Amino acid sequence: MSSAGIFISIMAALAVGAMSPGPSFVVVSRIAISRSRLDGLAAAFGMGAGGVVFAVLALAGLTALLSQFEWLYVLLKVAGGAYLVYIAVNIWRSAGQPLEVSDTVNGNRAPRLSFMTALLTQLSNPKTIIVYASIFAALLPRTVPLSLIVSLPLGVFVVEAGWYSIVAFAFSARHPRRLYLAAKSWIDRSAGVVMAGLGLRLILAGVGDR
């Protein structure tokens, strides 16, 4: 298979994974609907940046290190799950607080904060690097051409940031916002429960791997 064919196959596989519901979707959609479209796009770029980090680490062979030192993988799982639970608690605690939605950027809702929240959420799940490494191992040749080493991280960014930009645009539209404001407390508490469940599942998976 040509380098172009390999690249397209990998991007298609990663796109399916990116579109699967998970903590990243919860975070980006909530940021977009409760803050602003600009914040949502910043979060989408944070997801893209996190994907690039995982792609580079997978290409560098970090998965071999994680398989050799199982305790490190367990530690990353528990730490990532704890971060998701932390986000869940913050979402739950703010559920009853009134919210004034605006597309203007202020000091409390700077896009850089949305970017960092999304980036840390993406990086909180070490299973993602295993998915990346599995796809790379299945589709990449034994000797990886320089063109693929350069293009894969860029392609990953386009796939991740592109999908979550669509999510940001969809959830920052006027109608979804009206629905959110009308049922903010219930939606936030539901999002908090989902996020906490994902975090606890990650922690239990890490503990179970010991």
Q: Give the pLDDT confidence of 150-159 residue by residue, as tens digits.
A: 899 999 999 9
Predicted TM-score (pTM) above 0.75: no
Q: At what angle do helices 23-34 and 111-123 cross, to 10 degrees?
A: 170
Helices (H) and strands (E) in the chain — how many of each? 10, 0
pLDDT tens-digit readout, 82-139: 877 887 887 787 776 665 555 444 444 578 999 999 999 888 877 777 778 777 777 7
CB 43 within 8 A of CB 118: yes
CB 39 within 8 A of CB 31: yes
Neighbours of 13 (CB within 10 A): 18
Residue indicated by tokens 């993988």: 73
